[in-house]
Each structure stands twice: as C-alpha cells, then as structure tokens.
Structure 1
Amino acid sequence: MGSLLIKNAQIVTMNAQEEIINGDILIRDSRIEAVGPALDETPADRVINASGRTVIPGFVQTHVHLCQTLFRGKGDDLELMDWLKKRIWPLEASHDEESVYYSAMLGIGELLQSGTTTIVDMETVHHTESAFRAIAQSGIRALSGKVMMDKGSEVPLALQENTAASIQESVDLLEKWHMYDSGRIQYAFSPRFVVSCTEELLKEVQKLSVHYNVHVHTHASENRGEIAIVEQETGMRNVIYLDHLSLANERLILAHCIWLDEEEKRIIREKGVHVSHCPGSNLKLASGIADVPELLDAGSSVSLGADGAPCNNNLDMFNEMRLAALIQKPIHGPTSMNARTVFRMATIGGARAVGMGHEIGSIEAGKRADLVMLNLNHFHTFPSYDVDPVSRIVYSATRADVETTIVDGRIVMENGMMKTIDKTTVLREADASIKRLLKKTTIMH
C-alpha cells in the first residue's frame, strides 16, 4: 500500500491523555508510523493537505446486522417480539446468497460513508459466506458470525436449525474467515438470544469461544417480554443465566442491556462483559433507555452500535452519539453524558470491547491506520473559535461532514466517493433483491 502523509490536520488522538493536536500523520502500509507537528514529506508516496480538516479515529460500532439493511422501512412502529415474528424473521428466512451480499454491501457503504471503520456484525442463519465476501471486498474491519437459532416459537421453518449443524457451520466459517487479511476480519459466535438458543448450543459456544479465543456476540435484556420468557424457561434472568453457563467474561459482547437488576450489573462489571448501547434502536422499538451512566460510573465497558436498519433506520454513529448523550440528561442531569464520554464510547471504548484497544480506537504511532477526515467548515458546525472539537463532532456534526475514510491504511472513501464499492450497482441490486424477497414471503401487518 505504500506510505501516506496527512499534513496540517487538527487531530483528535484519543490517546491516553486524549490530546488534540495540530500536525501530521504518517501512515506506512497498514499502520500509523508517526504523529506530530511538521513531519518530513520525503518518505511519503502521497501527501494529503488536510488544512482546515479534523482527523479522528474511525468509529467502532459494536452491534449491527448487515443482513437486515435490505429491510429498512419494513419494520416500523412495532415492539421487539412483534417486530421479529411479524417482519424480520420472515424476511430473513427469505434471504438468498445474492440478497445477503447486497444487503451487506448496502450497509457497509452507509457505514464507511458515515465514518465507521469497524463493526461487530450478526448475520442471519444462512448464506453468511456472502456477507463475509462483501466485508472482504469493501475493506471494512469486522467481527462477524452467522446467527444461531435452534429453538423458539413462531420461527419460520427456514430459520429453524439443528443444534449440531448450527455449531458445525459456525466452526467451518470461523476456520475459513477468522483472521482473514491480517486480522481485518475476525469471527464471533453469534447465538441470537437466549429465547432462540438451547442450553446445549450455548454451552458448546462457550467451549468453542475458549478454544478459539474468539468473542461471543448476542442480545440480552432488550425487552421486558423477552426477559419474562427467559425467566419462565430457565428460572433466571438473562445475564445471570449466561453467567451460569460461564459465558460472562471479557469475550462476551451483549447488545442492549436495558433492563438489568443489581446482580446482573455486578456480573457485567466483575466479569468484564462488554455492553453495546443502541439508543436509536431502543427508542424506535420502545424498548426503553439503558442506564448507561450507572454502568460507566461502575467501571463497566459500554460502547455504541446502531443495530439494524429496520429498527433505526440508519447506521450512523453521529446519530447514536447524539442520542446517547441527550436521552440521559432529563434523567440524570445535564452533565451525565458529556461529549467526551460519548466520543470515547464510539472510538477507544468500542476498540477495547472487540479486544483491539492496542490496535485501533486512537491515533497513535504503531496502531492500525483506521482514520476518518471530517470537514467541519459548515454553517451547522460554526463558529469554531474556542469550541471543543469533540463537542462540535458529537453535538453538531453529521455524517455528511465525513470526507475521507481510511481502514488499515487503505483509502476506502475519498472526498465522498467510494473506492471499494460500486454505489450504482449496489443500489440497483438492493432494490432488485428486496423486490424478489417480498414476492416469496408474507409479512404480517
């Protein structure tokens, strides 16, 4: 890939001191070689003049569903279990290889254009290989895995799995894709949630997670109805049950965690479980508001995710940051979730959640070059004089301000133009795919 020098930028480093400096970034191949003022231009194959631009670490979203991007607008105004049973499960059951591929490409295009460089992705039951191909071709960094569902009521036949087959397919995908492209793609076991997984499957996932040293990504405590089902079936609440199965550890990423009791909060804190807060999805599905300030004050790991396009309806980290800050203030006071806290969750906090805090999430020499260049020279982000840049990013900026996105030292979008995805083709085939799926499935209204 050669070397790239970014000159004269405002750099929001998110290093240990959270320094904001004016200077240069030298990238060699996939890594940041140097950060500082007035770096020498001579070793660089290409120089980008970033005067008047702000460079930030790429956002890390710790909960998305690329396979659901095609379903944007098809799951509006429903609560979780109805949303799943009436709309999302039937649509997922209708997926084919091509539709999963273009659903993933559609989502990745949106993510890269809005500054997200790393995702934790949960696919559907079948055709996960298509999503991995899209991830590989697009250049985004991802932890991904096929969803696992071997029990549950009102689950379409095409999503009902045999336990052993679900596990074997997951292992086969892991052994093919885990650590692809020098670790840009990693595998994460993805049991959907306790409601749709047998204890046998979850126990095996725990063993395999230890054996392969990979993450487990699942949903927990998103909805009171979901919790009631889990308690009826297991006699325990979600997080307590997962801990009972030895799944509660630093490799576990739990999406949502809105309705936690004190024992569950203790387990999350003491076992190092990572919580992915998805405020946009939680509001749209009327699920509730997670007590993120309390989790953070206790020292728990909390990062951000958009969830899926049919329950958000976008994959925009700027939207999630702003919501994450604002929804807590009427409850906990105006200082409860300040801009720095939220930006930390979106960058280095997400990096730590995926076990890559030493590699991504901040702009420092030696780390992977996952960077985003913003143009904040607009009416909605001015005045700039004597304003904290992080405040401008969290409270004022939008995804339209993302100018260039770099993943692993590779420019995947420059001046708003995608370099790795053919936008015209993806938009055309996305429409063709959802049209085809709707013809062969029935969604309830």
Structure 2
Amino acid sequence: MAKKLIRNASILTMNDRYDVVEGDVLIDGNRIAAIGPDLPAGGVDRVIDAGGKVLLPGFVQTHIHLCQTLFRGRADDLALIDWLRKRIWPLEAAHSEDSVYYSALLGIGELIRSGTTTILDMETVHHTESAFQAIASSGLRAISGKVMMDHGTEVPPPLQENTQKSLQESVDLLEKWNGAANGRIQYAFCPRFVVSCTEELLVGVRDLSAQYGVRVHTHASENRDEIALVEAERGMRNVVYLDHIGLAKPNLILAHSIWLDDDEKRIIKERGVKVTHCPGSNLKLASGIAEVPDLLDRGIPVGIGADGAPCNNNLDMYQEMRLTAFIQKVQHGPTVMDARTVLRMATMGGAEVLGLEREIGSVEVGKLADLQLLDLEDFHVYPSYDADLFSRVVYAATRGDVDTVLIDGEVVMSGKRVLTIDRTHVLKEADRSLKKLLARIG
C-alpha cells in the first residue's frame, strides 16, 4: 500500500488535549501511521510539502442534501413548510437518474473544495443509487440513504410512497451499498420527518435499523408549524412521539432540533440520541436558533451541517462555523462557543454524532487519513505572529484557503483543484440536467 509523508505542517490534532504539533504526518495506505518532527522518508511514495500550512482533520458535516444542490437559488425567502410544498417537493419529484447524479457531484465538488471529507446525507425518494455512484467515484466519505415519505398533504404524486415498498427499496439499497467503496459509503434509513411518515413506516424503520445495525436520520423540531402538525396528528411533540414508538435510540440522528422543551432534551440525553445543528439554513428559513450551548452542557453530541443548497445557499463549513459561534454569542455573551468548541463540533463532534469517532475527526495515529491542508499566507488571516491557530481557522479562514484534501489516504484535491471530479463537465451537465428537470415540471 502506498505511503505518503506530509512535511513541516502546523498540525491541529483535535485530540482530547487539543494538541498543536509542528512536524510531519506519515500515512500508510489509508491510515495515519506516525506523527512527529523529522519523520524518516524511507519507503515513502509521495512527499507533500506543507511548509507554512496548517493541517487539520477534514470536516464532518452531519446534515446534507446532495440531491438538492441543483436547486440552489430556486427556493429563496420562504418558511419551511411553504419551502417544501411550493418549491422543493415539486423539484425533487421531477428528478431523474441523470439530474440526481449531477446534483450530487456538484455538491460534492463544493464540499471537497471547502475541506469537508465526510457527510451525513439525505437523498430524495427516487434515484438514490445515482447519488451513491457520484459519492463512490468522487472519493467522498458518506453515510446516506433514500428519503422515505408515505404520508402528508400537498405531496406530489411521484413522492407519495407505498409503505412496504419504501421499506423494501431502502433495504435493497442498504444491502447493495452499505460498506461499499472500501467502507467509505454507509447506509442510513432516512424517514423525512414525522409529518411525512406513517407510524407503520417509522416502526418499520425502527426494526430494520436494529436488524441491520445502521443509523436513522430524520428532521425533527425544525419549525414551530411542523411541531403543531405533529401534535395535531400524533397527540404529542416530535421527540416525545419518536420515543413513544421506540425510535429514540443511540443510532438516531436528528437534524435541527431547534424547538425542544426540557422533557425532549432529557429524552435525547437519556436515550443517547444525536443532534445536528444547521445555523445557515435555520437563519435563512427563519426557523429559529437551536439552543446549542445548553445541549452541549447536557452532554448531548452535536455536529454541524450546511443542510441543502436551496436553504443556505452554500455547503461551506467555514461559514457554518462562524455562524455557529456568532449567533450564540448574541444571546449568551461573548465567551460561549469559543473557537476550540466550534472547531471540535466540525471535526470530532461530527464524528461522534456519526459513531465514527474511532475512525475520523482528529489527526491521531491509527485513524483514517481524512485531512485538509490550509494555506493561511494571506491578508485576511494575518498577522500570524503569536496568533491562536484555532481562532485563525474558525474566525478568519475561508474555504478559499483550503489547498489540499485527502480522504481515505488518497489526495482528492491538490493546489486548490479537485482531482476526482471534472469541474467543467459537471458544471455543464448540471445546467443541462436542470433545464430538462424544469421542462418536466412544465
């Protein structure tokens, strides 16, 4: 297996001690074999000069919709339920294999360019295999699954599923793709949210996820109108209902979780449920501001995700980190959500949400080599003298500073150029496939 040596980096390890190390990282195959100064280069196939650069773990984004990247700029200035019913669901209903594939590649290119190496992704009802094919070819690490919808009003017919067919299609995808691409791809059951799912479907997801040992990813308590719909139909709030039917378990990952009461927070903590915070999306849709400091104080794992391109409109973790910090400071004072806390959420915190903390999220010997190199030699991140690296990365750096990205030990971006995706081709095909999609809507 090929060996690579990254030389002379300033390494933000993101280990338990937040160690900053000046030196080298040896990669043997897809794992980190050694960290330290002046590591020997014998037997190394490639040396990457990182002089003057900062090495840190690749970002772990815990809520993404690759299938929606094609809809960037087509669902602006709406609240959640209208956003879904008037714009997103009709667009998703018109997807083809081709449009899902290029939507995914478009999103993946943006993610890699901005230092993200792992995502938790939720696709649409159909053509999920096209997204898996894009993930596999691009080199990205992803947990993903088809969205599940067998209930609700104002849902376009192509998105209205038969319950048993939805469950069976999910199992079929799981059995084909879970563990594919050298383990980079894992499957998750993705019921959209309670509003879109019958209890029969959710109970089926509960049982199948336990049978196969995979995660469940759903939206919950993102919007007060959504909560009112759930209470009217199920007689209880989102998290209480999910607990009532036995879905609130350590394999459950909830997107957003803005409007939680104390009882729901208690359930999340006691059941080991994980949460993903999406500040850009939550602000743009005017959904609210999640009580992240309180969740962290309670010991609840919280990651960060950009959500989808039509509700953000970027998939940029550097932007999301700044928002994660700043919106809480306004409410709770300047000392909350410091740079180390936020960078941990974007790396090790995200890995913990996904149950991958032993494999990714920090630069440590034995872990998978999912890494990013930042070039901070520029006006907006200087001065560097006696500067705090955590502050420079979280508060000053941008996605344009990402120079090199490795995933699973492979260089997928070098010199700010993504190597696994043909940018010109994807941009052209994204426009072509969107034109065809819009024509299908009429």
- The alignment status of 1:418 with 2:418, answered yes or no, reads yes
Provide the rounded CA distance (Å) in 2 between the counterparts of 1:116 and 1:265. 29
Name the SS of the counterpart of 2:51 in structure 1.
Answer: coil
User: For the residues of structure 2 that align with 1:435 and 1:126, how far apart are their CA atoms?
Assistant: 19
Identity %: 67
Q: Identify which range, 309-318 or 417-426, moves more after superposition.
A: 417-426
C-alpha distance in structure 2 between counterparts of 1:28 and 1:149, whole Å: 43
Which residue of structure 2 aligns with residue 89 of structure 1? 89
Partner of residue 182, structure 2: 182
Task: Name the counterpart of 1:3.
Answer: 3
Aligned counterparts of 1:380 and 1:290: Cα–Cα separation in 2: 29
Counterpart code for 1:182: N
Q: CA deviation at 1:37?
A: 1.1
| Runs of 4+ with deviation above 3 angstroms | none
Partner deviation per Cα, 1:139-171 (whole Å, 9 max, x = no partner)? 000000000000000000000000000000000
Letter aligned with residue 356 of structure 2: M
Letter in 1 for 2:340: R
- Structure 1: which amino acid aligns with 2:344? R
1:393-432 paired onto structure 2 within 5 Å: 393-432=393-432
Equivalent residue, structure 2, for 1:50: 50
Measured in 1, the distance between the counterparts of 2:343 and 2:250 equals 22
Correspondence list, 1:126-205, <5 A: 126-205=126-205
TM-score, length basis structure 2:
0.99
Distance 2:290 2:214 in 1: 26
> 1:389 maps to what in 2?
389
CA–CA separation in structure 1 for the residues paired with 2:303 and 2:386: 28
Deviation string for 1:242-279 (max 9, x for gaps)? 11111111111100000001100001111111110000
- Spell out, residue by residue over 1:55-95, the C-alpha distance to the aligned partner (whole angstroms, 9 max, x if none): 00000000000000000000100000000000000000000
Q: Distance in 2 between matches of 1:28 and 1:313?
A: 37
Match of 1:362 in 2: 362
Equivalent in the alignment of 2:434: 434
Please give the per-residue CA displacement for 1:279-327, whole angstroms capped at 9, x wherever unaligned: 0000000000001001011111111000000000000000000000000
Residue 307 of structure 1 aligns with an amino acid whose one-letter code is D
Counterpart AA for 1:402: V
Give the letter aligned to residue 259 of structure 2: W
Q: Which residue of 2 aligns with 1:30?
A: 30
Structure 1 segment 251-266 matched on structure 2, within 5 A = 251-266=251-266
Residue 120 of structure 2 is aligned to residue 109 of structure 1 = no
Letter in 2 for 1:362: S
Give the Cα separation in 1 of the matches to 2:47 and 2:119: 28
> Given residue 214 of structure 1, which amino acid in structure 2 is its aligned partner?
V
Separation in 1, partners of 2:299, 2:388? 25
Partner Cα separation in structure 2 for residue 188 and residue 82 of structure 1 = 27
In the alignment, is residue 311 of structure 1 matched against residue 292 of structure 2? no
- Matched letter for residue 312 of structure 2: N
SS class of match (2:181): helix
Task: State the Cα distance separating 1:174 from its structure 2 match.
Answer: 0.1
Corresponding residue number in structure 1 for 2:285: 285
Q: What is the alpha-carbon distance in structure 2 between the residues aligned to residue 351 and residue 295 of structure 1?
A: 17
Please report how far the alpha carbon of residue 110 of structure 1 lies from its aligned counterpart in structure 2 after TM superposition: 0.2
Counterpart CA distance in 1 for 2:435 and 2:210 is: 42
Query: Residue in 2 aligned with 1:242?
Result: 242
Q: 2: CA distance between counterparts of 1:299 and 1:73?
A: 36
Match of 1:218 in 2: 218
SS state at 1:347 partner: helix
1:205-257 deviation digits (Å, cap 9, x = unpaired): 00111111100000000000000000000011001111111111111110000
For residues 135 and 197 of structure 1, what CA distance do their matches in structure 2 show? Answer: 27
SS in structure 2 opposite 1:172?
helix
| RMSD (Å), alpha carbons | 0.7
Tell me how far 1:122 sits from its aligned partner: 0.2
Deviation of 1:43 after TM superposition, in Å, equals 2.4
Cα distance in 1 between the residues matched to 2:374 and 2:247: 39
Residue number in structure 2 paired with 1:61: 61
State the number of aligned residues: 442
Matched, 1:119 2:119: yes
User: What is the alpha-carbon distance in structure 1 between the residues aligned to residue 163 and residue 263 of structure 2?
Assistant: 30
Q: TM-score, normalised by structure 1?
A: 0.99
Deviations 1:358-406 (A, max 9, x none): 0000001100000000001110000011111011010000000000010
In structure 2, the residue matched to 1:76 is: 76
Aligned amino acid, residue 175 of structure 1: E
Counterparts of 1:160 and 1:137, CA distance in 2: 30
**Residue 5 of structure 1, CA deviation:** 0.1
1:16 to partner: Cα distance: 1.6
Distance 1:319 1:250 in 2: 29
Instruction: Provide the C-alpha distance between the structure 1 equivalents of 2:430 and 2:130, rounded to a whole number of angstroms.
Output: 14
Q: Secondary structure at the match of 1:62?
A: strand
SS at the partner of 1:118?
A: strand
